[in-house]
Amino acid sequence: MKLQDKVAIITGGGSGLGRQSAQLFASEGARIGVVDIDPERAKGTVELVREQGGEAIALVADVSKKAEITEAVTRTVAEFGKLDIMFANAGVVSRGGVPSVAGGEQVAFEDLTEADWHHVLGVNLSGVVYAAQAAVPVLEANGGGVILATSSAASIAAYHSIAMYSATKAGVNGLVRGLSLDLGKRGIRVNAIAPTHGMSPNFLAPAGTPVVGKSYEEVAGPWEPAVSPIPLKLNRPPSLLDNARAALFLVSDDSAYISGVTLPTTDGGTLSRVAMWFDEDRGFTEAS
């Protein structure tokens, strides 16, 4: 197994990619500290891990508060004796989200408040900083380890109405590069994944919404590759598991010499496109 005898903390572990990764990492032999701001979601993930024969504990923390994520690390080490992997996955979207996806009302950039900015900054970027700071001493004491962050395709290409979110995720990419340089001599690798597709609808849903456990594309209805905007045509939609498998690669010894990288996952060629291309049948066309 790829993570035999490893101990991992996953923030935002109560739903979406965090929950899927907890189950996958546990199936590969890891013991998991499931961190979430929602205690019921954290407990739900722990139950799923235990049902499949794994070991996990539920930890409640707001990652935007350094003391809380530090306490989660302390409790995990107290329970399992060490830490090998910090997966800083927790994230929130800017208020207003992506209206066409969330069905919500668009909020003009200038109408977003100082509190809106500090919320998305606190979770998406400060939360990764604090998770890394809490993890580094125990990773080093363990002889090294891995820090993995969840960035986003929005750190690479623009999405409508989430400029603040995009800025924080671009910050994650810069943080990963800087930390890989600084922490390499201490035996710690630092990378990020940048999902494009295959993420959870819970990300844009109000707090307290039941955990879906599937990707946007999986819940959108029957899968039709021919009409999908993803250039790569496969006979199934992208899933949470596709992203979790990329995370598994980057926290396992399969990627032992990879550090400082932000890996676009479930991209399927989407990020390779520009706003114009030549249609095979009709010639030059504009992207809609």
Q: What is the DSSP pairing of strand 276-279 with strand 262-265?
A: unpaired
Tokens (6 digits) for 78? 């107290």
How far, in Å, CA of 231 to CA of 229, rounded?
6
Tokens (6 digits) for 56? 């996990």
Instruction: Respond yes or no: is residue 165 known to be catalytic.
Output: yes
Are the C-beta atoms of residues 144 and 187 closer than 8 Å to each other? yes
The set of residues, in sequence order, having a beta carbon less than 8 Å from that of 56 and lying 6+ positions away, is: 22, 26, 31, 32, 33, 34, 45, 46, 49, 50
Are the C-beta atoms of residues 156 and 271 closer than 8 Å to each other? yes
Are the C-beta atoms of residues 276 and 284 closer than 8 Å to each other? yes
| Catalytic residue of the set 130, 159, 165, 216 | 165
Q: 268: closest CA among 215, 229, 235, 216?
A: 229
Annotated catalytic residues are 165
